[in-house]
Each structure stands twice: as structure tokens, then as C-alpha cells.
Amino acid sequence: MAGIMRERFVGVTTELLDVHENLALVTADLTAGLFRSARESHPDRVVNLGIREQLLVSVAGGLSLAGMRPIAHSFAPFLVERPFEQIKIDLNHQDVGAILVSAGASYDMASSGRSHQSPGDVALLATLPDWTIHVPGHPDEAEAQLREAATGDGLVYVRLSNQSNSEPYGLDSGQGFRVLRRGTQATVIAVGPVADAVLQATEQLDVTVLYAATIRPFDAGGLRAVVRDQAAPSVVLVEPYLSGTSTAEVADALVDRPHRILSLGVGKEELRNYGSPRQHAIAHGLGPAGLRLRISSFLSS
């Protein structure tokens, strides 16, 4: 029910709370039940605030001001969108660090409707400086990102999802792009859980496929290195959240040369459909067939 990445988050965080004495976990009812044993072990550092999401982010900021390393967790719409000004003021503007861990992603809870879907979370956070934004495509990646974040002191967002790749492509590649496949006609950047669909969609195509489980900071140097010998690179960006979220990052990376960009992701329009995540992926053109159609069309244009 909770999804495999969220279960990993609960297990890893419970362990990290035992190891790191300044680590704190703050929830607003969601997932709080899964942290019962952690709360029994560390009642002062595992705090459930009730359904109070503005307070959730502010408390994270206040904990950090007191010298703690806070993790705040809720579903993405209630962690990023609802208390966005708290993120801007109580974290960034206070010049403190925190770890925000969301669940639900763009449409994991498709049947719950728009209120529980947050395709805009990465775009929103990307308007603020200093955020490391992880989009894990596998529970192992999420675990590594959580472990690293717990020992740091910066601003880190971990966007958990029930969607997952067959392999942890991003493990051991640091935060930069990892080359999954080499080709000459275009460079396709797959972010987090869309990687398997991208690999399937581009199977017969002469393209390079890059993988990122971390999208901010954007690995401009990695992209430039891959397209170094191309006179006019074509870049396809496939993101599992709002389409175009990283288009400007690609354009900035290639500012000194002619290039083309195709941005694929979740559309801005509300679908007003329920159903399954898979149905939503297809509706947004993010299934293998939809991706292949649009990428092929871009390559031949």
C-alpha cells in the first residue's frame, strides 16, 4: 500500500535516527503510523504534528535553527505546494538546511484525483536557490540519497514514487548524468522512474540515453561533454513531472551553440481522470509508445 520506495524511506530513516543523534523526523499524520517504532525509540526526535502542513515546514526550519537535522515528510502536494512560502521563508531565507521527502509524485495516487497529484513540485522548488533535488528511479537510489542527505547540512528534496525502474541506474554515478546508451542523432535525458520506458522507446533509435536521479543541480557539464563533438545537438528531455521543468537548464548548458530541445513530461492541463498511474503515463504521452512516437517525429523533423 505504502509503495516500495516509501517503505524503504521508513526503514532507512528509522535506522538513521538510531545512528545520528541530531536527526529529527517530522510528519503531518501521513505515514506517521509507519514510524511508530522510531517514535517509541526517539520520542523527542520523531514528531507527528497532526494535519498541519504549514507547521510541518516551519518546524523543520525551527529544528534546524536549534542545531538539528530535520526530515519533513508528506505527500508532495502537501509538502511543497501548500506550504511553499514556508519553504521559501522558513528554510531558504533563514539560511538553514532541511530534508524534504515527498511521496505520491505526479500521479501515484491517480485514483485519488487532482488534489493528491503534484506534477509541479520540482518546478516550484527549482525557483529557489540551493536545493538539491533528487528524483530516484529505484528504492536503492532513494536509500543512498537519504543516507547522504542525513549526514549533510544543505537543502535536499527527495521525491519518492511508486514508479520504479528495473535497475538502480543512478547508483554509484554521483549526482551527474550516467550514460545508459550511446548514439549519434540525439541525446535523450531520462529523469528518475521514466528510464525504463525511455530505454524501451528508444531501442531501435540511434540516440544517446542519459540517466539522472538528481536533477538539481543540473549536470550542465555532463551534458556538454556528451554533445561536445556535435555541431547542432538535439536534446530530448523526459521528466516524470511537469513538462519543460528543466528546459531552461538544457538551454543554458548549450547557450553557446545552436541546438534543439524536445521537452516531454506531465502536461499542465488537468486530465480530470482517475484510474491508474499507467493510464496517466499513457495519457501524458509518457508510455513507451507515446515516447517513441514523439522522439522519432522530433528526430525526423
Partner 1 sequence: MQENQTRERVVDSAPYGFDDLAGLMSRMTGDEKHSEAATSTMDALWVLYDRVLNVDSSLREDRDRFYLSKGHGPQAFYAVLCAKGFFAPELFDMFGAFRSPLGYHPDRALVPGVEISSGSLGHGLPLAVGTALGLRARGLDGSRLWVMLGDGEFDEGSNHEAVAYAARAGLDRLNAVVIDNHSATQGWPGGLESRFAAEGWATRRVDGRDHDALERAFTAPHPGRPALVVADVGAPGDR
Beta-bridge partners for 235: 187, 261
Q: Which residue in the set 5, 16, 32, 61 belongs to the binding site for partner 1 (CB under 8 A)? A: 61
139-151 vs 4-19: helix crossing angle, rounded to 10: 30
Stretch that binds partner 1, among 41-49, 74-82, 176-184, 289-297 (CB under 8 A): 41-49
Q: Residue written as cell 499507467?
A: 278
> How big is the site for partner 1, counted in residues (CB under 8 A)?
30
CA–CA distance, 242 with 123 (Å, rounded to integer): 7
CA–CA distance, 298 with 279 (Å, rounded to integer): 24
**Using rule CB under 8 A, residue 19 touches partner 1:** no
Least Å distance, CB 65 to partner 1, is: 5
**Using rule CB under 8 A, residue 60 touches partner 1:** yes
Q: Which runs of E-coded beta strand occur in 106-154?
A: 131-134
Stretch that binds partner 1, among 3-11, 51-59, 107-115, 160-168 (CB under 8 A): 51-59
Q: Which residue in the set 27, 58, 102, 175 belongs to the binding site for partner 1 (CB under 8 A)? A: 58
**Using rule CB under 8 A, residue 20 touches partner 1:** no
Give the CA-trace dihedral at 87, 150, 12, 173, to 10 degrees: 100
Give the residue with the Cβ less far from partner 1, 45 or 159. 45
Dihedral over Cα of 57, 58, 60, 64: its sign: positive
Give the residue with the Cβ less far from partner 1, 49 or 236. 49
Give the residue with the Cβ less far from partner 1, 86 or 175. 86
Give the residue with the Cβ less far from partner 1, 93 or 268. 93
In the 8-state DSSP scheme, what is residue 270? Answer: -
Which residues in the 81-120 window bind partner 1 by CB under 8 A?
85-86, 89-90, 93-95
- Give exposure, 114-144, as e/b (b: 16+ Cβ within 10 Å): eebbbbbbbbbbbebeebbbbbbbbbbbbbb
Least Å distance, CB 131 to partner 1, is: 17
Residues near partner 1, by CB under 8 A: 22, 24, 26, 44-45, 47, 49-50, 52, 54-55, 58-68, 70, 85-86, 89-90, 93-95
